[in-house]
Amino acid sequence: MKPLCLPRPDPDESAPFYHGYIAKVPGEQIGAYLAEQPGLVERMLAPLDAATGNFRYAPGKWSVKEVLGHLCDAERIFSYRLLRIARADTTPLPGFDENAYVPPAEFDARPIAELVREFQAVRASTIALAEGLPAEAWNRRGQASGKSISTRAIAYITVGHVSHHLAVLRERYRLSSPDALAAV
């Protein structure tokens, strides 16, 4: 099977809030980026000890584990939106408050290796969904958080969101980048 390659979404395919995530995607090889990111996450985070996993760069900021847990939550939500819109479901989809999701999840109580495995499993599901979509599904649009969005934009947002948080982990949490692909 040929790796998934999608043209960049037009600005009107997502709310302006998401344009920064989309801009973090360096090219159109969405399938390759989706497949590479779980390895990047594992190489950056799996070796961390418990103290580093619970580290917060400032009071009131998420811990490293909470960032990783947020990636799992957001991946599930983006994938669900992708499924609904790709299947031509025009029901408006609600937004979510990521800050409200973190405390009840108690990510800091879990081993970081378990959270890494969870991210890998959730991403594997996203990849399976994306690889199985027919070509016409990538241009479909729906409503999420009160804004129009395309399935193609959701794929880019999914990749760009992880790239954004990996950059935050490198820059604000001072975690080392596992390799040159960390920009993806």
Let me know: does 143 contact 15? Beta carbons within 8 Å: no
Is 94 part of any domain? yes
Q: What is the pLDDT of residue 12?
A: 98
Residue 154 has pLDDT above 60, yes or no: yes
Q: What is the mean pLDDT of the chain?
A: 95
Residue 118 has pLDDT above 90, yes or no: yes
Q: How many domains does the chain have?
A: 1
Integer CA distances (angstroms), 182 to 94, 130, 150, 152, 163, in order: 31, 22, 26, 22, 7
Quick one: average pLDDT of 73-102?
Answer: 97
pLDDT, tens digit (0-9, with 9 covering 90-100), for 160-169 = 999 999 999 9
Which residue range forms the structural domain that includes residue 114?
A: 11-183
Is 122 part of any domain? yes
Alpha helices in the chain (DSSP H): 19-23, 30-45, 50-53, 64-86, 98-105, 112-131, 151-171
pTM attached to this predicted model: 0.95
Q: What is the pLDDT of residue 180?
A: 41
Is 3 part of any domain? no
Q: Which CATH number goes with the domain that contains 127?
A: 1.20.120.450
Is 1 part of any domain? no
